[in-house]
Amino acid sequence: MTEPFRVPLIIRGEIIDDAEIEHGGRRGGVSFHAPDIAKHIARLPLRTPSQMADLYALSFDDILDYLVELGPRLDFGQNRHVQEAFRLSCITSGLSESILRHHYSHLGAMFDRTEMTRMMERSCGIDYLEGWVDQGPSMFTGLSARTRAFGARCVHVIAGNAPIVSILTVIRNALTRSDAIIKLPSNDPLTAVALVRTMVEMAPDHPITRHISVAYWKGGDEAIEAAIYDPRGVEKIIAWGGFDSVKHITKYLQPGIDLITQDPKLSGTIIGKEAFADEATIRSVARRLALDVGAQNQEGCVSARVIYVETGTDEEGLERANRLGELTFAALQKLPEHLSTPHKAFDHALKEEIAAVRLQDEEYRLFGGRDNEGAIIVSQEEYPVDFSRQLACRVGNIVPIDTVETAVRSVNAYTQTVGIFPEALKAKLRDRLAFQGAQRIVSLGGAATMQHNMEKQDAIEPVRRMCKWVTEESADGAMLEALAG
Amino acid sequence: MSQYFEQLLADPTSFHDAPYDEAFKLTIEQIERLHLEGARKRFAQLRPGLSVLDKLAREQGIEMIEKIDDIAPLLFPHTVYKSYPISYLERSRFDKLTKWLGGLTTTDISNVDATGIESIDDWLDLLDAETPLTVAHTSGTTGKLSFVPRTKEQWTQTIVHSAIIIRDWWGRNSGPDILKNKIPIIIPGYRYGAAATQRGNGIQIDIYAGGEENALFMYPDARFSADVASLAGRLRAAEARGEAGIQDIPQVLLDRRESLLALEKRRPEDVRHFFDEAQRRFGGKDVYVTAMWAILFDWAEEGLKRGIKNIFGPGSVLLTGGGKKGKDMPDDWREQVLEFLGFSNFYEMYATSEMMGLCMMCEHGNYHIPPVIVPFLLDPATGKPLPRKDGTTGRFAGLDLMPNTYWAGLITGDEITLSGWEKPCACGRTGPHVVPPVRRYSEKEGGDDRIVCAGAPEAHDRALEFLAELSM
């Protein structure tokens, strides 16, 4: 039996927790209770833009002060809301308890003053957030302009595969001086709640607290979504997720609503022939590759799935690819448990595919894949497995190739990160990979373990796009009047 | 009774034309003995000639079937019948595909020279012509076709078997004997093709209808092409390889996608023609109709809209199954179909394309598993067999003892509940039965609004959507 989870509705500082409706049958058999959103729907969107004014009484430093104060309050040892979110995630998430414990123990780390400042400097420029920035000379003599980045009234339809998504949403909303309605995902309905509850406890009347709401409704519920996705109360929708999640939303698009989609993506790896220079290099490459496949249990869009290796496809080449497969599988089994563990809910359909691969030993060499320990499948020809898009739960597919051309041309608009070895190959390929569709090109091993400038996300700069870039122009009155003839 | 039992024990394949009602009078002890001895026999007989089964047995370390649960680790995941790499198709390596298929049947097909073959349809025709096999493929809605190496003899047996079921299901000789008395057959689908639904057409025309003139199809001249059915999977595999893959898609395949769109445009005309012919040639007559419910409902809805109902005679029969298949149908869909058809004698089944036996629905709504199918419920998490206890729910798996040239032991994607081990069904039939609902695990795990950042959204393709409708 699982404990009864309650997912409150929080509207701009007001917590409603009557648990009137049960939402059941989710992963892990978990169900939770949430208020009937229909009863409160009228109050969710911010219909009066004048209410945004309070955010402009705050300086950027004031906002940073608020967030920096919030960080330590999310301490896993103390904060019962965070603890509850962790408990529910242990049931609904694809991440194991040890990995989640690591995440939830470090929620506060993202609220670092320097890092937040850098992020906003890179994405928007703090001077633009703080005031009107002169735009320099114009083609019209005497015309000058100043631009400022303003927050918008947004709905965030967030993903639930890792708590970082909720954290980024809260931080980005505050720093851009926006108003957020967070639509909670059924696979993690409590992390955003924990953050916002803590904000309410910390500063119930603070403008930042009063400009964030969280709500769970069943995605696609027309009665609710028609009322929320209305340009009179919402200017932008930031939607994570795949076709179904976005499809619901596109029904409501009309002039006045800007949709920012953060589509699901897949990531891969390209390993050049230099990896096979000597035994020590192969071993080191295998350890780094195991990180790209295994970190975060391969639950992320950044996780490597298909790995192209420039071994050649002759007998010796296949032997090299198989050797890398064997070593990578061994390294996968040794990853530290805060990064990676055997998957607790191994995908059954994938398991069936692996079972068939095991009986098909002419085409594939299989390492692991017996239980839920993960696997490395080495193709014995230049083709990935037919189920390459289903690879998950720490299952990678090594594909031997004669030339890196094949790998470059496999990259498309659904490719997020490409991990590359060696560095020289990365420098050589990065332009081409970029116009093929890749969005982040990293050193092998760095795909799912660390990340710079996360605000660039999927090469679409969502933080910048969350803002409204408003311009104020000045021209000499006499000159303007002269135009009237 | 005893002789009936002895015969099944000696040769489970003989079940195909044995009186069907007798099967559900066996005692549970007899059924269990049939399961164990039949499984032992099939395993010993097939293992030496089936390299894939042999490999699985070695993997699992199973040499002997001591007890019935020893069979469970030897059941194939359903992926086995589609475990060939799609790249064989892209590169026209039908020689390799033949070799792959050869590992799944004891029928010797090593004489087949598939070099130069470029399409699946041609490959299937070649096997038809040069081997005892008539390979059936699945519909491909999941993206990749399975190929089941059934023999010509087995196909005839399955068609005879269906007729025996119609005759005996509601009691010995309770239904028409369509083997003895010819009956027109009406099929709202393709006349030709190698999908499981078309493979029986020719045999049904021969032994039920007695000739083409006594049969009506929605598409009387068209072939449901395996190459078209494979489109979704091949395009998906190609797209996963990016630009490299897209350039490898043969023109013939892209042309077939176009022809599919042309077929869709022509469909209203084909449907109208089918109605006219059904009324003109077979109106008021007793006929045999077979199709999945979802297809029948489309047909009935269209007909009722045109004010057409009670088309056929009251002595007609319908063999159907498949449920709603995810289609949006009203609650009274069965009634609408029957009102349109004009008769109420229908036989509803639950079946999988790799097995020959069918599980028929009784008057209490349960599907009865024939004694030649050894059913298992597997724990969805561990894959271990669950005890034979009434009311147990799990993943359905089974070994059909009828096929004697390939291993019809398979794990399905269905969640079902089994009863009948301890207490027979209220209808009086003995042996295990499936208590509805039957659910797909894939639907169950899909969730509502689980949103993750990993994945690759697929562009929606009108032609492929139509294909999905066609291949229900």
Question: Pick from B297, B365, B307: which is nearest to B330 by CA?
Answer: B297
Res. B326 pLDDT band, cuts 50 70 90: low
Closest approach of B339 to chain A, Cα-based (Å):
34
- Cα nearest neighbour of A219 on chain B: B449
Pair of tokens at residue B292 = 């999945």
Closest approach of A111 to chain B, Cα-based (Å):
22
Closest approach of B396 to chain A, Cα-based (Å):
14
Q: Do B241 and A410 touch (CB under 8 A)?
A: yes
Q: In chain B, what residues touch A360 (CB-CB under 8 Å)?
A: 83-84, 100
Q: Do A389 and B455 touch (CB under 8 A)?
A: yes
pLDDT at residue B328, rounded to an integer: 77
User: Residue B309's CB: how many other CB atoms inside 10 A?
Assistant: 14
| A219 pLDDT higher than 90 | no
pLDDT at residue B446, rounded to an integer: 46
Closest approach of A416 to chain B, Cα-based (Å):
9
Q: In chain B, what residues touch A158 (CB-CB under 8 Å)?
A: 451
- Cα nearest neighbour of B99 on chain A: A362
| Beta bridge partners of residue A397, listed in sequence order | A306, A377
C-alpha torsion angle, residues B27, B32, B37, B43 (rounded to 10): 140
pLDDT at residue B465, rounded to an integer: 62
Q: Do A386 and B144 touch (CB under 8 A)?
A: yes
Place of tokens 């319908």: B318
User: From CA B442, how far away is CA B3, in angstroms rounded?
Assistant: 43
pLDDT at residue B444, rounded to an integer: 58
Closest approach of B309 to chain A, Cα-based (Å):
37
Res. A3 pLDDT band, cuts 50 70 90: low
Region B452-459: mean pLDDT is 66
Query: What 3-state class would DSSP assign to A155?
Result: strand
Closest approach of B255 to chain A, Cα-based (Å):
23
| B471 pLDDT higher than 80 | no
pLDDT at residue A345, rounded to an integer: 87
Give tens-digit pLDDT for A280-322: 999 999 999 999 999 999 998 999 999 999 999 999 999 999 9
Region B35-44: mean pLDDT is 96
| B194 pLDDT higher than 80 | yes
The reply to whether B445 touches chain A by the CB within 8 Å rule is yes
| A241 pLDDT higher than 80 | no
The reply to whether B234 touches chain A by the CB within 8 Å rule is no
Average pLDDT of chain B is 90
pLDDT at residue A360, rounded to an integer: 85
Q: Do A241 and B452 touch (CB under 8 A)?
A: yes
Chain pair A-B, CB pairs under 8 angstroms: 148
Distances (CA, A) of A363 to A315, A318, A381, B85: 13, 11, 7, 8
Closest approach of A451 to chain B, Cα-based (Å):
16
User: From CA B38, how far away is CA B10, in angstroms rounded?
Assistant: 8
Question: Pick from A266, A327, A326: which is nearest to A301 by CA?
Answer: A266
- Cα nearest neighbour of B244 on chain A: A409
Reported pTM: 0.91
Closest approach of B243 to chain A, Cα-based (Å):
5
Give tens-digit pLDDT for B288-299: 999 988 888 988
| Beta bridge partners of residue B361, listed in sequence order | B367
DSSP β-ladder status, A133-134 and A144-150: antiparallel
Set out the domains of chain A in order of their start, with CATH numbers.
5-264 (3.40.605.10), 266-451 (3.40.309.10)
Pair of tokens at residue A377 = 């499948």
Q: Do B453 and A157 touch (CB under 8 A)?
A: no
The reply to whether B221 touches chain A by the CB within 8 Å rule is no
Contact call for residues A290 and A446 (beta carbons, < 8 A) = no
List b or e across A286-297, with b for residues whose CB sees 16 or more CB atoms inside 10 angstroms: bbbbbbbbbbbb
Q: In chain B, what residues touch A361 (CB-CB under 8 Å)?
A: 55
CB-side neighbour CA atoms (13 Å) of A480: 6
User: Residue B152's CB: how many other CB atoms inside 10 A?
Assistant: 14
DSSP β-ladder status, A440-443 and A133-134: unpaired
Region B114-119: mean pLDDT is 92
Res. A260 pLDDT band, cuts 50 70 90: very high
| A1 pLDDT higher than 50 | no
Q: If you write DSSP's letter for every residue of B358-395 in order, what string do you get?
A: -EEE-TTSPEEPPTTEEEEEE-TTT-PBPP--TTEEEE
Q: Do A389 and B240 touch (CB under 8 A)?
A: yes
Region B426-448: mean pLDDT is 82
Give tens-digit pLDDT for B421-430: 999 999 999 9
Q: In chain A, what residues touch B230 (CB-CB under 8 Å)?
A: none
Give tens-digit pLDDT for B238-269: 777 777 777 777 777 777 777 777 877 888 88
| B468 pLDDT higher than 80 | no
| B462 pLDDT higher than 70 | no
| A338 pLDDT higher than 70 | yes
Q: If you write DSSP's letter for every residue of B390-436 in order, what string do you get?
A: TTEEEEEEEEESS-SSS--EEEEEEEEEEE-SSS--TTS--S-EEEE
Distances (CA, A) of B138 to A201, B144, B146: 58, 8, 5
Q: Do A27 and B442 touch (CB under 8 A)?
A: no
Query: What 3-state class would DSSP assign to B14?
Result: helix
The reply to whether B244 touches chain A by the CB within 8 Å rule is yes
CB-side neighbour CA atoms (13 Å) of B82: 23
Q: Do B452 and A360 touch (CB under 8 A)?
A: no
Region B187-200: mean pLDDT is 92
| A357 pLDDT higher than 80 | yes
Query: Higher model confidence: residue B327 or residue B56?
Result: B56
% of chain B at pLDDT higher than 90: 67
| B272 pLDDT higher than 60 | yes
Query: Higher model confidence: residue A414 or residue A8?
Result: A8
- Cα nearest neighbour of B241 on chain A: A410
Q: In chain A, what residues touch B410 (CB-CB under 8 Å)?
A: none
Region B373-389: mean pLDDT is 94
Question: Pick from A163, A17, A157, A165: which is nearest to A88 by CA?
Answer: A163
The reply to whether B129 touches chain A by the CB within 8 Å rule is no
Query: What 3-state class would DSSP assign to B117?
Result: coil
- Cα nearest neighbour of A216 on chain B: B449
Closest approach of B89 to chain A, Cα-based (Å):
12
Q: Which of B453, B458, B460, B464 to mutate to test the interface with A (most CBs of A within 10 A)?
A: B453
Region A351-373: mean pLDDT is 93
Region A464-470: mean pLDDT is 96
User: Residue B63's CB: how many other CB atoms inside 10 A?
Assistant: 11
Choose the closest CB to B83 out of A157, A263, A359. A359
| B472 pLDDT higher than 50 | no
Contact call for residues A143 and A473 (beta carbons, < 8 A) = yes
Res. B282 pLDDT band, cuts 50 70 90: very high
Closest approach of B328 to chain A, Cα-based (Å):
17
| B451 pLDDT higher than 80 | no
pLDDT at residue B43, rounded to an integer: 97
Distances (CA, A) of A82 to A75, A190, A204, B177, B281: 8, 8, 18, 70, 72
Distances (CA, A) of B442 to A350, B391, B394, B395: 12, 22, 14, 12
% of chain A at pLDDT higher than 70: 98
The reply to whether B47 touches chain A by the CB within 8 Å rule is no
Question: Pick from A192, A199, A194, A198: which is nearest to A166 by CA?
Answer: A192
User: From CA B113, how far away is CA B301, in angstroms rounded?
Assistant: 47
pLDDT at residue B413, rounded to an integer: 87
Query: Higher model confidence: residue B81 or residue A248?
Result: B81
pLDDT at residue B229, rounded to an integer: 83
The reply to whether B52 touches chain A by the CB within 8 Å rule is yes
Contact call for residues A216 and A92 (beta carbons, < 8 A) = no
- Cα nearest neighbour of B101 on chain A: A360
Name every residue whose Cβ is closer than 8 Å to that of residue A431 and which is 6 or more positions away in sequence: none
Choose the closest CB to B80 out of A298, A349, A356. A356
Q: Do A352 and B449 touch (CB under 8 A)?
A: no
Region B202-213: mean pLDDT is 96
Average pLDDT of chain A is 93
Phi–psi pair at A430, nearest 5 degrees: -60, -40
User: Of the spans A16-30, A259-273, B445-459, which averages the highest pLDDT?
Assistant: A259-273
